[in-house]
Chain A
Amino acid sequence: MARRKRKASRSTEDTASHKAVEDTSSRPSKRHRLLGGQDDGQDGSPTERRQGAGGRLGAGGWVVASDDDEKEAAPAFASTARRGKNGGKKARSREKVGPLKPTRNELRAMRRQFDDKVAEYERGLRPSKKEIKSVQDVKQRMELRTGEKNRRKAAEDAAAAELLLHTQESGYLEAEGMEKTYKFKQADIAGAVDLQSAAKHFDLALEYGSYSIDYSRNGKHLLLGGRRGHLALMDWSRASLLFEMFVEESIYDVKILHNHMFLGVAQKSNLFIYDHTGLELHCLRDHPGARHLEFLPYHFLLASVGETGRLRYVDISTGEVIANHRVKNGAARALTANPHNAVMAVGTAAGIVSHWVPNTGLPVVKMVTHAGPVTGIAFSSDGNVMATTGMDRTVRVWDMRMYKELHTPYTLKRPASAIDISQRGMLAIGFGTHVDVWKDALRTRAQRPYLSYGTRGAAVSDLAFVPYEDVLGLGSAKGVTSLLVPGAGEPNFDSYVANPYETTKQRQEGEVKRLLDKIPADMITLDNSVIGALDANAENNAMDILREKHESIHGKGTWKPRNKARGKNKSYRKLLRKKGNIRSRKMLRVKAYLDAKKRAAEELDAKGAGGQAPPPASRSSMFSRFKK
């Protein structure tokens, strides 16, 4: 009885949600009114078009998008995975036939997939059973054995969890026949996807200058700042505006901090922090001329750089200025953090990208990237690849482990003005009035872009992929556009990292937890793995550093260790030496050795000069046995 009741309640909720979605589909024009822009007619229509096309609408006016998808989405392991309401019927009919048994080959493939995942989670080499067995100490051996067992189990659990629980599949766009993906228009894509996704494509025509945009960490909120002082925060997927205002001075860059309650805005005079209602919380006067902002969510550090070439870090939880570095090589033109190790990359007018950590007043890495000013920097989500754009019209892709260029650069028709890399490694480049999205441009050198978009006359000023969505945000001189890029975003989010569906309570608790786990700024290092790792070669490290330094200047093999004798030349020591009153055994030994060496050399000289056998040594020494 209870079960039936619950089912009934769910169905009512479902219809309610359908209604809500239907409302959203008709919202874009409303949104424009809110933002004071004009409807240019590019969006708003997909709904009608799709309804006209027919065939893809579900019972409640809702698209049956998940039917085919879910079949593909369910991984081989996910026999227990929850099925959607549309897949439910299918599952039941299968049960009648009997449970499906995987074939042997399928099983083998599953096993291999599982083993690969486990290897990924085991993280590097582990001691072998034989090595553990060779440990002498019984307690240590048992500790190692149980430790390894637990570690293995943890890796297996994590792998199984990933294979079973990552039920969302990433998006894709494939051309059929003579089609080319880069020829697809946004309207084509919007027409072919479900209503909910189609609504993610919209265009906000705004008239307050070139726009800088930023999405919150969970991809839910969009902050946009127009050069001519227009600032707005919106929940873009629900099309609700949180606030909109004019700051009455130029806005250069905007950044949503750890959540949408705090917003950093680089204005002409100062750096300001606003809250989600547009209330000014702080005016950071020690960041004059900030033009580019970057935020490190794990460290709660807001970094700014500008024309003055000063890279400033401020801890937003305490308000303390952590570091103030002088970046040379001309004015700073780009600022991006490496998400893997929180190292800041600053692109300068001299074409140099320098990498900074708060601890060190000099860049930890300096790379000559472009013949001309750098215009943009982007990192892949694993931090292994960096892409840069410059006024020399090239886009260069760099390996951040080798600090080398990965392949020959892409050359554009115009210098790029914006660049971003999506969570799944898609590269978006804005140049002139165009945006190109490249799918496999990082690992290999792609020949053709994946998608191409023309802004119809508006110069692109900013690009940002939406986290956990297949959407690319585009800020231009004429407003903000949201573009559909299937396959760009990570489909499976982590509730503890960024949750698009978080409740107020969850956001508040998450904020507290993250503040407790705030990583100190001095823990930012270029090599992320040094912390907590064993330094097996600690004694030699100091020497190695000296050697490397010497060899980098004078060439390999030129370094000789200098054994400094500290205190040897103190006046008191000199006096003692002169007096010779302490004749330690070591001193005697050294003296004997030197004497013998001297004698041997003399003998060799005598041999060479006279051609005669040397006279026998009068005293036997440790070298006597070498003489014939």
Chain B
Amino acid sequence: MKVKMISRDEVAMTRERSTDLNKVHRNTALRGFERQTEVKRAVNAAKLNRVFAKPFVGQLSGHMDTVTSMMASPRSLDTFLTGSGDGEVRVWSLSRKATLWSIPMAHTSFVTGLVVSPNGETFFTASDDRSIKQWRLDMGNMWAEDVDTPIESWASEYALESLSMHASRYVLATGSRQVDVWDVARATPVHTMAFSDDTISSVAFNQVETEIIAAASSDRSLSFYDIRTESALRKVELGNLINDVAWNPREAFNITIASDDHNLYTFDMRKLDRALSVHKDHVSAVMSVAYSPTGRSFVSGSYDRSIRLWNISKGHSHECYHTERMQRVLKVAYSSDARYVLSGSDDTGVRIWKSDASATTGIQHPRAKARARYEAALLKRYEHVPAVAKIHKQRFQPRSIFKARKLRHVMRLAEIRRDGRRRAHTRNPAPKIDSRTAAVRRLHD
């Protein structure tokens, strides 16, 4: 007889002393109901995500008027600059949530544009008062008396609506009745370009394809200029006014515009006959848009008193931030590490929000990090399961927005119904046009 039985040595199977870690034995074949367990864990993860979703970090108060322009220093995670409607410019420390210094009468009118130079040593402001000014941003010398006197200033022919800076050179672009390109060493613009006489509401240098400028004008058009050839490249006419434009920092040819028709549109600069995607969720004019440094998401601020976060390829936002006191949002920006979003609104406040609502701040234990990674993977895999999706996607919205969206939905259904009837009773109805194509009214090549 040859015989053997399972006979385990308890000493070998367990820990030696109570301070040791418990021994773990694995045999994954014994684990049953794998998928079901994962779905349940995904539901739990979605619930915990919602429980821990505390996106509001804090408010920067000090401005006495609407915040109209803002930018984070590209060289510091802490330094943040804002300009307001009364011509004041403030330099903030985000970690301390405090003003480092302010320049009360930087301009005599709205500070419409504010950019920090790529090396982070100076910043430029542009205003309705037809001037551009260069200021010192010397963090080591912030108590110097001359921090509130401009290093240089330039006079423009028209009131300036927007300001942007070249990615590597000291070259500025301003939007007024025309697009002006300024060399810092000269007193007058080096180039002046215009498709029409309408006001340019927003101008933006491409930060990758550095010589390209996008400009939105009040004739509802988006135009592109090349400063090497000093010429306009293309122009596309849209259905409504454009309030802001932002280039994707990682996909050099993609640009997102914030429109007065409550939507945002992402365009591929090379194929302007059709929008890449239409982002619909706001219920009032979208005033500002800013890209995350990762290029995977962007943030928008709207007249409906809310901020929304979007995935670049999705038609609907995944996050909606609002507070009872926040008024119409005129400007939004990302912090340089993409972890925070800042918003400037009508109520003179600058608010700091997390870009991931349920993210934990501070140092995390490696086990907590691993758990967060696991939960994120679970949510990604099972976000389409109804039990998960219901919790994962639901967001509380202010009553006004909720009602407006509901009404809009009804109106949209009615429109579809009406269109269907119209088609049924028309001899040769025109082919249906999707909203991405319908966004483009006319294209000038």
> A162 CA to B25 CA in the complex, in Å?
10
CA distance A529 to B35 in the complex (A): 8
The listed residue (B1, B7, B30, B381) touching A197 by CB distance below 8 A is B7
Query: Are B30 and A493 in contact, CB atoms less than 8 angstroms apart?
Result: yes
Residue in A17, A484, A494, A518 with the greatest tally of chain B CB atoms within 10 Å: A494
Partner of A342, one of B7, B33, B41, B382: B33
Which of B1, B7, B23, B29 makes the CB contact (< 8 A) with A65? B7
Contact with B along A176-216 (1 / 0, CB 8 A): 10010000100011001110110010000000000000000
A10 within 8 A of B: yes
The answer, yes or no, to whether A425 is at the interface (CB within 8 Å) is: no
A514 to B308, CA, bound (A): 37
Given the known A-B contacts A184-B1, A517-B37, are A492 and B427 also in contact in the complex, defined by CB atoms under 8 Å? no
Q: A298-B33, A495-B26, A516-B44 are in contact. Are A489 and B1 (CB under 8 A)?
A: no
CA of A442 to CA of B33, assembled, Å:
23
Q: Assuming the A-B contacts A166-B27, A172-B2, A494-B28, are A531 and B7 also in contact, with contact meaning beta carbons closer than 8 angstroms in the complex?
A: no
A34-42, A388-396, A496-504, A603-611: which one contacts chain B?
A496-504
Interface residues of A in 146-198 (CB under 8 A from B): 158, 161-162, 165-166, 168-176, 179, 184, 188-189, 192-194, 196-197
Tell whether, in the assembled complex, residue A497 and residue B40 are in contact, meaning their CB atoms are under 8 Å apart: no
Q: A179-B1, A520-B40 are in contact. Are A340 and B16 (CB under 8 A)?
A: no
Tell me which of B5, B12, B29, B31 contacts A486 (CB under 8 A). Answer: B5
A318 in the interface (beta carbon within 8 A): no
- Say whether B6 contacts A168, CB under 8 Å: yes
Partner of A495, one of B24, B39, B425: B24
Complexed CA–CA distance, A188 and B3 (Å): 10
| B38 on interface, CB distance cutoff 8 Å | yes
Whether A491 is near chain B, meaning CB under 8 Å from some CB there, is yes
- Please tell me if the beta carbons of B3 and A468 are within 8 angstroms of each other in the complex: no
- Residues A517 and B41 in contact in the complex (CB < 8 Å), given A192-B1, A340-B32: yes
Least Cβ–Cβ distance between B16 and chain A, in angstroms: 7
Q: Does residue B10 face the partner (Cβ distance < 8 Å to A)?
A: yes
Min CB distance, B11 to chain A, in Å?
6
Asked whether, in the complex, the Cβ of B4 is within 8 Å of the Cβ of A169, the reply is yes
Given A17-B10, A84-B12, A298-B32, also A470-B5 (CB < 8 A):
yes
Task: Determine how close the nearest CB of chain A comes to the CB of B30; give it in whole angstroms.
Answer: 5
What is the CA–CA distance of A619 and B41 in the complex, to the nearest angstrom? 70
Cα(A497)–Cα(B25), bound, Å:
10
**B7–A490 touching, CB < 8 Å:** no
* A491, B2: Cα distance in complex, Å: 18
Q: Does A584 contact B (CB under 8 A)?
A: yes
Cβ–Cβ contact A174 & B25, under 8 A: no
Question: Quick check: is B196 within 8 A (CB to CB) of the other chain?
Answer: no
Choose from A501, A531, A585 the contact partner of B13 (Cβ within 8 Å).
Answer: A501
Bound complex: CA of A519 vs CA of B39, how far in Å?
A: 8
Cβ-closest chain B residue relative to A177: B1
Whether the pair B25, A494 counts as a contact (CB closer than 8 A) is yes
Once the chains bind, are A532 and B3 in contact (CB under 8 Å)? Answer: no
Whether B11 lies near A13 (C-beta < 8 A) is: yes
- Is residue B36 within 8 Å, beta carbon to beta carbon, of the partner chain? yes
The answer to whether the Cβ of B385 comes within 8 Å of any Cβ in the partner chain is yes
A43, CB-defined interface residue at 8 Å: no
**Alpha-carbon distance between A342 and B24 when the two chains are bound, in angstroms:** 27
Given contacts A168-B6, A516-B44, contact A531 B35 (CB under 8 A): yes
A420 within 8 Å of B by Cβ?
A: no
Contact of B31 among A188, A196, A496, A506 (CB under 8 A): A496
Chain B positions within 8 Å of A518 at CB level = 40
Q: Cβ of A517: which chain B residues have Cβ within 8 Å of it?
A: 37, 40-41, 44
Contact A298 B36, beta carbon cutoff 8 Å: yes
CB distance from A1 to the nearest CB of B (A): 18
Which A residues are in CB contact (< 8 Å) with B3?
171-174, 189, 192-193, 486
- Inter-chain residue pair count (beta carbon < 8 A): 145
A580 to B85, CA, bound (A): 66
Please tell me if A294 contacts chain B, counting CB pairs below 8 Å.
Answer: no
B323 in contact (CB, < 8 A)? no
Chain B residues with Cβ below 8 Å from A490 are 27, 30
Contacts A173-B1, A193-B4; A584 near B32 (Cβ below 8 A): no
Q: Which chain B residues lie closer than 8 Å to A172 at the CB level?
A: 2-4
Give the secondary structure class of A's interface: loop
Complex Cα distance, B6 from A172, in Å, reads 9
Q: How far is the CB of A217 from chain B (nearest CB, A)?
A: 11
- Chain B residues lying within 8 Å of A529, measured Cβ to Cβ, are 35
CB distance A585 to B25 under 8 Å?
no
Q: How many chain A residues have a CB neighbour from B under 8 Å?
A: 71
Closest to B38 in A: A532
Report the Cα distance A82→B39, complex, angstroms: 37
Kindly provide the distance from the CB of A507 to the nearest chain B CB, expressed in whole angstroms.
12
Q: Does A621 contact B (CB under 8 A)?
A: no
A528 within 8 Å of B by Cβ? yes
Contact partner, B27, options A14, A176, A339, A492, Cβ 8 Å: A492
B4, A69: Cβ atoms under 8 Å? yes
A174 touches B33 (CB 8 A): no
Q: Is residue B22 contacting chain A, with contact meaning CB distance below 8 A?
A: yes
Q: Which of B1, B9, B14, B23 contacts A175 (CB 8 A)?
A: B1
Judging by beta carbons under 8 Å apart, are B1 and A523 in contact? no
In the complex, A490 Cα to B25 Cα: how many Å? 13
Q: A84-B9, A340-B32 are in contact. Are A532 and B4 (CB under 8 A)?
A: no
A468 near B6 (CB under 8 angstroms)?
A: yes
- Report Cα–Cα, A125/B409, bound state, in Å: 42
A170 CB contact (under 8 Å) in B6, B41, B381, B385: B6
CB proximity of A567 to chain B, nearest CB, Å: 15
Chain B residues lying within 8 Å of A193, measured Cβ to Cβ, are: 3-5, 7
| B36→A469 contact, CB < 8 A | no
Interface assignment of B8: CB less than 8 Å from any CB of chain A: yes
Bound: A585/B9 CA distance, A:
85
Closest A residue to B26 by CB, please name it: A494
Distance in angstroms between the alpha carbons of A499 and B30 in the assembled complex: 12
The answer to whether B6 and A519 have CB atoms under 8 Å apart is no
Bound complex: CA A492 to CA B28 (Å): 10
Q: How far is the CA of A269 from the CA of B9 in the complex (A)?
A: 44
Nearest-neighbour CB distance to chain A for B41, whole angstroms, equals 6
Assembled-state Cα–Cα distance A194/B3 (Å) = 10
Interface centre among A170, A200, A495 (most CB of B within 10 A): A495
- Residues of A contacting B36 in the complex (Cβ-Cβ under 8 angstroms): 298, 519, 523, 528, 531
Q: In the complex the two chains form, is B25's CB within 8 Å of A176's CB?
A: no
With both chains docked as a complex, state the minimum distance between the C-beta of B49 and any C-beta of chain A, in angstroms. 15
- With beta carbons under 8 angstroms apart, the residue of B33, B382, B425 that contacts A584 is B425
Contacts of B7 in A (CB 8 A): 65-66, 193-194, 196-197
Q: Which residues of A contact B424 (CB under 8 A)?
A: 584
In the complex, what's the smallest C-beta–C-beta distance from A598 to chain B, in angstroms?
26
**Chain A min CB distance to B254 (Å):** 13
Instruction: Give CA–CA (A486, B44) in the complex, Å.
Output: 42
CA gap between A494 and B32 in the complex, in Å? 11
Given A13-B11, A339-B32, A492-B27, CB of A531 within 8 Å of CB of B5:
no
Q: Can you name the residue of chain A whose Cβ is closest to the Cβ of B8?
A: A168
What 1/0 mask marks residues of chain B from 357 to 376 whose CB sits below 8 Å from any chain A CB?
Answer: 00000000000000000000
User: Bound complex: CA of A489 vs CA of B23, how far in Å?
Assistant: 21
Q: List residues of chain A with CB within 8 A of the CB of B44.
A: 516-517
Closest to A529 in B: B35
Residues of B within 8 A of A (CB): 1-14, 16, 22-33, 35-41, 44, 381-382, 385, 424-425, 427
The 9 closest A-B pairs by CB, nearest first: A197-B5, A174-B2, A494-B27, A171-B5, A470-B5, A519-B36, A492-B27, A494-B30, A532-B35
Given A162-B28, A493-B27; 9 other pairs, CB 8 A cutoff: A165-B25, A171-B6, A173-B2, A174-B1, A492-B27, A495-B24, A523-B39, A531-B35, A582-B425
Q: List 17 A-B contacts (CB under 8 A).
A: A162-B29, A170-B6, A171-B4, A172-B2, A173-B2, A173-B3, A194-B5, A197-B7, A342-B33, A470-B5, A486-B5, A490-B30, A494-B27, A501-B13, A503-B22, A518-B40, A528-B35
